[in-house]
Amino acid sequence: MKILFSLLILCISYTLGAQNPDLPDDFLSKDFHKDRREQLRGILPTNSVAVFFANPVRNRANDVEYIYHQDPDFYYLTGYKEPDAVLFIFKDKQAAANGTMYNEILFVQPRNAMREMWTGRRLGEQGVKDVLGFEQAFNNTEFKKYKVDFSKFDKILFFDFMNDVRDNPRDSSDLYSMIVDFKTKVNYPDKNATTLAVEPQKNNLDTKGLASLMSKLRGIKTPEEIEMIKKAVAISCMGQVEVMKAIKPGMSEREIQGIHEFVFKKYQAEDLGYPSIVGAGHNGCILHYIDNYKPNVTSKELILMDLGAEYHGYTADITRTIPVNGKFSPEQKAIYELALKAQEAAMKICKPGIKRSVLTDTCRAVVNRGLIELGIAKPGEKHMYFPHGVSHHIGLDVHDRGDAMIEENNTIVIEPGIYIPDNAPCDKKWWGIAVRIEDDFLITKDGYEHLSKLAPRTVKDIEDLMKQSSIFENYSLPDIDKITQKKN
Ligand code: GLY
Ligand code: MN
Ligand code: MN
């Protein structure tokens, strides 16, 4: 009976297996990932190997884990979205014991009928060969006995371990165990240390070099990646547009967040690139305000909304700041237009060959001048009204890898902000005004393509759109407190 049951589980699981008909068909192709590995191999130092570990599973509470998110470098190079895996990319061909020559090898979690019934399908060794196109792929149970003479390499490049991976005591080939085995294989000096010692290395371990190599690659987006990013950006713009039409005084910050995220899901975005920031009034002054707990946004407030849909791993990063009642007050308008002017000034100079820090300097000069003209800051005064830089790359990470110098096919943001908290040393009519305007750009040969222009940005365009009716207009649910009281 037990054998019959196991066979049944095995059948169900294998039918649900690698070739999954329910999956979207617009993921990056295996050729994309293969090409990325080729490109990395091309820039690896002579006689080296690069090693990448999958992200760990993180515990949320008791027996519940956080939704798994693959390490972006690992995903970029493999397309593999499961945990407990390690990838080796060799500069030169290696000979396996059976004489096979190979220059990359992937170890993945094995198929397991019972586990798959609880936590979902796995590709397993055969799946990564069939679906992801790896020639050398093995179950991670084989990793311990994988033999390469690591002492022969001039460099073994990997990202250092922060000792923050939990051991699953029931799995002797999980990520934790593979890291332990890897440390032994490569002669990692102090196996219990949090990081490799900072003193000059006497061995061939290099935990610093991979970041800049990956930045070189990931900063320049391929046409396939640009397509993904454009989709993520368009979806995120639609969230902003729908909220501009739907928002009303009395809604909660969380409800407004929910409208954005509903739109993301409606367009099949799997995830958020980062926790959504929806801050009304002075909450907007908290740069990464993700509590979103204010129960009633009020008519006179601005609301700052910084949200990015993640589509097939790629994220947008867009901020719009709008008046809850649909009309900017004179003070709100003055601050908003100053932030917009700063953004426009940066956009004007944004092209290959400019450093991203120059975009920040440009915005800062405009904002500082404007704040003085408005009497909010004094000449020469150090203030905290604009405490961040304005540009970073976007891609698989919201703050993506990429170089400081802007190049063709970068995807970057420009995001000036002005934040005037309550009790700031200026006229109190300005207190609680927080504005950030953040747009996404694809860098072209001599300028940029403005990817997020679907979401209105000028005062007039925002106010005009906010007059339009919304699909959420007649959307109401019973008062939950009344329902629960009735039941009691
Ligand atoms: N949403 C994070 C940022 O704007 O950088
Ligand atoms: Mn940003
Ligand atoms: Mn943002």
pLDDT tens for the 488 residues of the chain, in order:
455 545 444 444 444 444 577 889 899 999 999 999 999 999 999 999 999 999 999 999 999 999 999 999 999 999 999 999 999 999 999 999 899 999 999 999 999 999 999 999 999 999 999 999 999 999 999 999 999 999 999 999 999 998 999 999 999 999 999 999 999 999 998 888 888 876 667 799 999 999 999 999 999 999 999 999 999 999 999 999 999 999 999 999 999 999 999 999 999 999 999 999 999 999 999 999 999 999 999 999 999 999 999 999 999 999 999 999 999 999 999 999 999 999 999 999 999 999 999 999 999 999 999 999 999 999 989 989 999 999 999 999 999 999 999 999 999 999 999 999 999 999 999 999 999 999 999 999 999 999 999 999 999 999 999 999 999 988 889 999 999 886 55
Q: Which of 288, 307, 315, 318 to mutate to test the pocket of ligand 1 (most atoms within 8 A of CB)?
A: 288
Looking from the CA of residue 392, the nearest atom of ligand 1 is 5
Ligand 1 centroid vs 435 CA: distance in angstroms?
Answer: 13
- Residue pair 350/446 in contact by the 8 Å Cβ criterion: no
| CATH class of the 221-465 domain in this structure | alpha beta
Ligand 3 centroid vs 282 CA: distance in angstroms?
Answer: 17
Q: Could you tell me the pTM of the whole model?
A: 0.95
- Residue pair 247/322 in contact by the 8 Å Cβ criterion: yes
User: What is the token pair recorded at 484?
Assistant: 């629960």
Pocket of ligand 1 (CB under 6 A): 274, 306, 317, 398, 415, 438
| Cα→Cα distances 247→226, 234, 255, Å | 31, 20, 9
| CATH class of the 2-215 domain in this structure | alpha beta
Ligand 1 centroid vs 306 CA: distance in angstroms?
Answer: 7
Q: Which of 233, 260, 274, 436 to mutate to test the pocket of ligand 1 (most atoms within 8 A of CB)?
A: 274
Ligand 3 centroid vs 306 CA: distance in angstroms?
Answer: 5
User: What is the token pair recorded at 280?
Assistant: 């009304």
Q: What are phi and psi of 37, to 5 degrees?
A: -65, -40
**Cα distance between residue 344 and residue 350, in whole Å:** 10
Q: Where in the chain is the domain with CATH 3.90.230.10?
A: 221-465
CA of 414, nearest ligand number: 2
How many Cα neighbours within 13 Å face the side chain of 141? Answer: 8
Q: Where in the chain is the domain with CATH 3.40.350.10?
A: 2-215
Q: Which of 411, 438, 440 to mutate to test the pocket of ligand 1 (most atoms within 8 A of CB)?
A: 438
Q: DSSP alpha helices (H): ranges in 44-171?
A: 72-78, 113-119, 124-130
- CA-angle at 63, arms to 60 and 69, nearest 5°: 45
Supply the DSSP string of 283-338, one letter for each residue. Answer: GGGSTT------S---TT-EEEEEE-EEETTEE--EEEEEETTSS--HHHHHHHHH
